[in-house]
């Protein structure tokens, strides 16, 4: 996403060039981009001058959107995930309130942080 943000407003860039710049394998990058496309964060253009680009400005993309697109719902413990019906490991979890506060702050920071801050 940082490579795409650096390239925002220019012609699309290939996954091969992103993989080389980030020193990751192209097949792995293809899997990442698939999730980002599903989340409507990136778009692909076919053809000779094709490649990938952001669907919106880096200043309008939160790190929260990126993390959720790649990793799914953010939950520091599975019992805190809203969409996962997992009960706590103990009937009365004395620390759950603290973990909920930690998770809330993590989510808040990620929602406030924008992709543009990383370039």
Its pTM surpasses 0.75: yes
Q: 2-54 has which CATH code?
A: 1.10.10.10
Which run of H or of E encompasses 54? strand 51-54
Interatomic CA distance for residues 86 and 84, integer angstroms:
6
Domain range annotation of the chain = 2-54, 62-118
**pLDDT tens, the chain, 119 aa long:** 999 999 999 999 999 999 999 999 999 999 999 999 999 999 999 988 899 999 999 999 999 999 999 999 888 877 777 655 555 665 667 788 888 899 999 999 999 999 999 99
């Amino acid at each position: 996403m940082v490579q795409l943000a650096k390239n925002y407003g220019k012609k699309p860039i290939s996954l091969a060039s992103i993989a080389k710049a980030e020193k990751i394998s192209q097949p792995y990058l293809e899997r990442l981009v698939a999730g980002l496309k599903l989340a409507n964060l990136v778009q692909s253009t076919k053809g000779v001058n094709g490649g990938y680009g952001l669907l919106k400005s880096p200043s309008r993309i939160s790190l929260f959107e990126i993390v959720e697109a790649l990793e799914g719902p953010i939950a520091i413990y599975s019992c805190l995930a809203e969409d996962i019906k997992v009960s706590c490991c103990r009937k009365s979890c004395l620390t759950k309130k603290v973990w909920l506060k930690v998770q809330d702050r993590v989510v808040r920071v990620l929602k406030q942080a924008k992709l543009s801050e990383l370039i």
